[in-house]
Amino acid sequence: MMSYNYTYLLVDRRPSGVVVVTMNRPELLNAVNWEMHHELERVFVDLDSDKDVRAIVLTGAGRGFCSGGDQKSLDKVAIPSPTRAGRHLIRNILEVEAPVIAAVNGAAVGLGATLALMCDVIFAQSSARFADTHVTAGVVAGDGGAVIWPLLIGPARAKHYLMTGEFISAEKAAAMGMINEVVTEHDVRDHAIEYAEMLASGPREAIAWTKYSVNKIIKEYTHLLLDTSIALETLTFASPERREAVAAFAEKRKRFAEKGR
């Protein structure tokens, strides 16, 4: 039995083979700094190496799932190879043999939305919301949003949401086929764990290879688009529009997609 030691992730291993991974920066709605990013890259590799793991639940501590990148923290540190880091995180989620179940307990924004939408099955509580707000910060949606949003809701809808940063309610996300289910009668975390327990009790190889087969198309899109979108995101981080967006946020001015609301 493996042990797991992380700073920003809580890993709860259950006798059934279900492992609950909780992003744990609740004071910042689980915003991702570089250390947490590296831990998210690593945890799926660690869990994939542990053959006692049969299903994984990914959720957030407190009242949010994940609010995306912690820009104050990220801006203070030299980018340690964003293309490699972004590629590894997305591909590690797709490659882990055990099914990954998202329990979206609040806002899932930017990278947080990508993390949720890359999971195999996605449950959200009724108050959860999804958005990729990279563009409102003056940068390209480069962390996987340009890969997974078009696959789930089609290119036309994806371009609208990625170009405006508009939020989507859990109910609307379910209606569009973006997520599996809105959980209203139970705690979403408990619901996801119950579902994971069901999968963990099933035929392991049949479930794993079904996931592998369906994920082939997502992997193809990832191979086609991810490196380019991350490179473009990195390029726009140095743009005047990015600096203006950061200033507008700091000064509490409305950014372009918020005007008129």
**CATH number of the domain residue 148 falls in:** 3.90.226.10
Written as one letter, the residue type at 104 is: V
Q: Which residues contact 29 (CB under 8 A, 6 or more apart)?
A: 60, 62, 63, 64, 66, 67, 106, 107
**Within a domain: 91:** yes
Domain tally, the chain: 1
Contact 188, 153 (CB under 8 A): no
Using CA atoms, how far apart are residues 169 and 7, in angstroms rounded to an integer?
Answer: 31
Using CA atoms, how far apart are residues 86 and 80, in angstroms rounded to an integer?
Answer: 11
**Within a domain: 171:** yes
| 242/218: higher pLDDT | 218
Parent domain of 43: 1-185+201-261
Mean pLDDT over residues 157-168, rounded?
97
**Within a domain: 233:** yes
**Within a domain: 252:** yes
**Within a domain: 215:** yes
Least confident of 24-33, 116-125, 252-261: 252-261
Least confident of 70-79, 224-233, 245-254: 70-79
Confidence at residue 260, expressed as pLDDT on a 0 to 100 scale: 46
**Within a domain: 194:** no
User: What is this structure's pTM?
Assistant: 0.93
**Within a domain: 190:** no
**Within a domain: 3:** yes
